[in-house]
Amino acid sequence: MMQPATRVGRALRSPKKDARVPARALQAEQATVIRPRPPELPLDRCALVTWILARERAEELLEGLGTAAMKRAKAHLRHIVMLPSPRRQAKVATEFGERTDAGARLKDLMAEAPEELRKEIFRHLPPYHRSLFPGRKVEPCDPLAPPLLAVLAARLVREATR
């Protein structure tokens, strides 16, 4: 003959007479629901992301935020749209940071560049990226180097890190 399975669980107990709560207090407690306030959205960043990912639909996507937030987000979007492209790209880079593969990209850039350009690129690297190239030292500017070489090096560093 089979025995019934053993069940483990809490036994229901009746509340003690001293711990009884009046019905009105229990109803008031159940009726009062405290809802935490949702966190404040960084609307400027939301507008920037919608512009980056869906330019044509950016305004339409921001309409789902709610009345007050939508108005402020659309104002940020109008400001972003009016910026020239290089300023917009710089804003994206400063808001969302450096690429995760920046070190590898800089190493590839240095491997492909001619020696004069390498010196200039190294001069424009931030100190924390200079440690990627332990054999190099910052050398003074070559007075015979073309002036646009420094501009090109700065641009290449920006492109590799952002």
Structural domain spans, the chain: 43-96, 102-161
CA distance 117 to 136: 13
pLDDT tens-place string over residues 88-119:
887 887 787 777 888 899 999 989 999 888 98
User: Which residue stretches of the chain are H helix?
Assistant: 23-31, 43-53, 58-62, 67-82, 85-96, 102-112, 115-124, 127-130, 147-161
Q: Is the dihedral of CA 5, 10, 12, 17 positive or negative?
A: positive
Tell me if the pTM is above 0.85. Answer: no
Tell which wins on pLDDT, 117 or 32: 117
Q: Is the pLDDT of residue 161 over 80?
A: yes
